[in-house]
């Protein structure tokens, strides 16, 4: 299942790349520019077909994609008859739209995914007092970190009262010992304080209420007030399961805005504060919320879809929200004012237009003087080298010191 989840990540990533390039392609065609190639992937061509003036195809290395628009820069040769359709000959506004269209597609993907998940699945009620499937036994004490837990029936284990009392997955706990329990935290508090005492539980099961009596067994657990100390508390061997609350279109739209705000905030943190954690990627101090590459994100995606303890609806929604966050990150990153990113080309375009306006205010009436891109080539190559180096550095960390949702 982990491999299937990783494959789903690769497919979703390629779809995002295709839509990114489609943004450039469709806007260029809309303004009459000539696009001669539209490919997914790099390297040797696996398949292609020419329709009209454009060759569409798939290449062997699924690491991106590209659209070939005639005359992207004045440095390129343009075939006779295509001069008026060359990219660099178009008005600045049209060029800006084409350049920004790739990132715009990523932003649209993120918005559609977040709203779709929020409306179709709803929001997770993390404090809902709903039971997971009862465990077979309860550990009298928790094993030391890194040590395996004893098997049920071995010394240090006790048969789980929840299973003996007939508790079922999906039971909603309405009250414990006569005390209402609207949240999971309140259920835990009542169970922990009732060690060795028979306690009635009022449950909602299949739309009807039922009452069962369960006797929490005394166990040693970290104190909720001071986790460094242990205390004797009650346990029944039943955890919680996550449930979702469906929302209407208006409420879903509001929740989507909140979620997008959190994703944007996380993206900003990744582009600023988290950059400093790159020196710890290979150490035990690696930030689990820090930098991760495509390989690491694929691994996390696989673990999300393989989390058997969660309902499929939550697993799929978590996966889609991860893809929404990735698309938002890529969209923002692509707009950074660095060549060869689209943001670098936009920065050059903006500089040209601002310089031209200042010159015309001073009386200049000649043609637009373009930036000499050959002077920027060393900087462009340096950026590419840094990007490749960082990508390989993070890839190595994802392989030898991976971030894992399961902690292993």
Q: Which of 21, 77, 126, 204 is catalytic?
A: 21
Q: Residue 245 in contact with residue 123, Cβ under 8 Å?
A: yes
> Given CA atoms 248, 254, 257, 258 in this order, what sign does their dihedral have?
negative
Task: Look up the CATH number of the domain holding residue 233.
Answer: 2.30.42.10
Residue 161 lies in a domain: yes
Q: Residue 334 and residue 271: Cα distance in Å, rounded?
A: 12
Residue 151 lies in a domain: yes
List the domain range (segments joined by +) for residue 142: 137-241
Report pLDDT for 5: 76
Total number of domains constituting the chain: 1
Strand partners, 282: none
Report pLDDT for 278: 85
Report pLDDT for 1: 55
Show the CA angle centred on residue 240, arms to residues 239 and 241, nearest 5°: 130
Report pLDDT for 408: 42
Q: Which residue has the tokens 């061509």?
A: 45
Report pLDDT for 284: 85
**Sheet containing 179-180: order of strands:** 179-180, 172-176, 199-205, 208-214
Report pLDDT for 370: 86
Rounded to the nearest 10 degrees, the angle between the axes of helix 312-334 and helix 2-30 is 40
Residue 200 lies in a domain: yes
Report pLDDT for 406: 57
What token pair was written down for 339? Answer: 């060549």
Residue 171 lies in a domain: yes
Helix (H/G/I), strand (E/B), else coil: 130: strand
Beta carbons within 10 angstroms of residue 65's beta carbon: 21
Task: State the pTM of this model.
Answer: 0.82
Residue 105 lies in a domain: no
Residue 212 lies in a domain: yes
Report pLDDT for 269: 85
Show the CA angle centred on residue 92, arms to residues 90 and 98, nearest 5°: 75
pLDDT in tens, the chain (408 residues): 567 778 888 889 889 999 999 999 999 999 999 999 999 888 999 999 999 999 999 999 887 889 999 998 877 889 898 989 999 999 999 999 999 999 999 999 999 999 999 998 888 887 889 998 899 999 999 988 778 889 998 999 999 999 999 999 999 999 999 999 999 999 999 999 999 999 999 999 999 999 999 999 999 999 988 888 999 999 999 998 888 888 888 999 999 999 999 988 888 888 787 877 888 889 888 888 788 888 888 888 888 888 877 778 888 898 999 999 999 999 999 999 999 999 999 999 999 999 999 999 998 888 888 888 889 999 999 999 999 999 899 989 989 888 876 544
Residue 141 lies in a domain: yes
Q: Residue 402 in contact with residue 298, Cβ under 8 Å?
A: no
Residue 399 lies in a domain: no
Is 21 catalytic? The answer is yes
């Amino acid at each position: 299942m982990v491999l299937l989840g990783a494959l789903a990540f690769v497919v979703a990533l390629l779809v995002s790349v295709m839509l990114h390039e489609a943004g450039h392609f469709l806007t260029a065609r809309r303004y009459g520019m000539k696009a001669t190639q539209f490919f997914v992937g790099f390297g040797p061509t696996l398949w292609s077909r020419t329709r009209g003036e454009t060759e569409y195809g798939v290449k062997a290395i699924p690491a991106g994609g590209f659209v070939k628009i005639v005359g992207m820069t004045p440095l390129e040769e343009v075939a006779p008859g295509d001069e008026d359709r060359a990219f660099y000959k178009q008005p600045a506004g049209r060029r800006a739209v084409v350049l920004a269209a790739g990132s715009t597609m990523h932003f649209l993907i993120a918005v559609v995914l977040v709203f779709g998940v929020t409306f179709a699945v709803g929001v997770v009620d993390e404090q809902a007092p709903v039971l997971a499937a009862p465990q077979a036994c309860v550990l009298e004490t928790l094993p030391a970190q890194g040590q395996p837990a004893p098997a049920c029936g071995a010394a240090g284990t006790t048969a789980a009262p929840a299973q003996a009392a007939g508790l079922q997955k999906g039971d909603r706990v309405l009250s414990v010992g006569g005390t209402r329990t609207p949240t999971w935290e309140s259920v835990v508090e009542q169970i922990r304080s009732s060690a060795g005492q028979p306690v009635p539980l009022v449950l909602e099961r299949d739309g009807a209420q039922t009452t069962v009596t369960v006797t929490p067994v005394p166990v040693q657990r970290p104190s909720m007030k001071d986790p460094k100390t242990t205390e004797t508390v009650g346990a029944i061997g039943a955890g919680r399961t996550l449930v979702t609350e469906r929302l209407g279109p208006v409420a879903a739209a509001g929740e989507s805005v909140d979620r997008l705000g959190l994703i944007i905030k996380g993206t900003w943190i990744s582009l600023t504060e988290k950059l400093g954690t790159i020196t710890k990627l290979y150490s035990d101090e690696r930030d689990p919320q820090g930098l991760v590459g495509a390989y690491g994100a694929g691994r996390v995606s696989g673990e999300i879809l393989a989390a058997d303890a969660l309902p499929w609806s939550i697993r799929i929604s978590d996966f889609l929200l991860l893809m929404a966050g990735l698309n938002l990150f890529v969209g923002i990153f692509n707009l950074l004012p660095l060549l060869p990113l689209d943001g670098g080309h936009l920065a050059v375009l903006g500089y040209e237009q601002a310089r031209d306006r200042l010159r015309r205010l001073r009386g200049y009436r000649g043609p637009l003087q373009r930036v000499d891109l050959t002077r920027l080539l060393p900087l462009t190559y340096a950026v590419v080298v840094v990007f490749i180096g960082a990508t390989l550095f993070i890839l190595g960390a994802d392989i030898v010191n991976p971030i894992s949702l399961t902690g292993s």
